[in-house]
Amino acid sequence: MNRCRSLLSLICLFLIFACQAKAPMSRSSNVERTDASASARVQIPATPKHDPKSATSTPQSTPETPQSTPPLPPQEAPSRPGQIVGSFTSGLNIAWVTFASDVGAGHPDLEALRAQFALLVGAGGTVARLWLHTDGTVTPEFTGKLVTSPGTYAISDLTKILDLAQSAGVQLMPTLWSFDMVRSELKKASPDVVLRNRLLLTDSDATTAYLDKALTPMVSAVKNHPALYAWDILNESEGMTATENWSQVAPADRITHLQIQTFINRVAGRIHKIAPKSLVTSSAVSFKYLSQRAGLDNFYTDAGLISAGGDPLGTLDFYEVHHYDQMGKEYSPFLHDISYFAVDKPVLVGEFAMQEYLEHGVTAPRLLYAKLQANGYMGALGWKDGRMPALNLMLNSIIYLQFPTDLGGDPLLCVHFAGGFGAPFYDGQTLYRMQTATSDSSDKRQRCIVE
Q: Over the stretch 168-178, which tens digit does the pLDDT of each residue have?
A: 999 999 999 99
Specify the fold of 82-405: TIM Barrel (3.20.20)
What local confidence, expressed as pLDDT, does residue 408 receive? 59
Nearest to 187 by CA among 201, 198, 176: 198
Nearest to 371 by CA among 408, 338, 328: 338
* Residue 19 in this model has a pLDDT that exceeds 90: no
What local confidence, expressed as pLDDT, does residue 436 receive? 86
Nearest to 230 by CA among 281, 296, 300: 281
Query: Where does the pLDDT of residue 429 fall: very low under 50, low under 70, confident under 90, or very high at 90 and above?
Result: confident
What local confidence, expressed as pLDDT, does residue 412 receive? 76
Please count the other Cβ atoms lying within 10 Å of the Cβ belonging to residue 426: 11
Q: Where are the domain boundaries for CATH 3.20.20.80 in the chain? A: 82-405
Mean pLDDT on 248-267: 97
Q: Does residue 91 sit in helix, strand or coil?
A: strand
Alpha carbon distance 361, 367 (integer Å): 10
Alpha carbon distance 174, 130 (integer Å): 5
Alpha carbon distance 401, 386 (integer Å): 25
Alpha carbon distance 122, 376 (integer Å): 24
Residues 106-125: tens digit of each pLDDT: 999 999 999 999 999 999 99
Alpha carbon distance 165, 419 (integer Å): 36
Query: Where does the pLDDT of residue 60 fall: very low under 50, low under 70, confident under 90, or very high at 90 and above?
Result: very low
What local confidence, expressed as pLDDT, does residue 418 receive? 73
Strand partners, 232: 175, 281
Contact present, 40 and 277 (Cβ < 8 Å): no
What local confidence, expressed as pLDDT, does residue 388 receive? 53
271 vs 10, higher pLDDT: 271
What local confidence, expressed as pLDDT, does residue 386 receive? 54
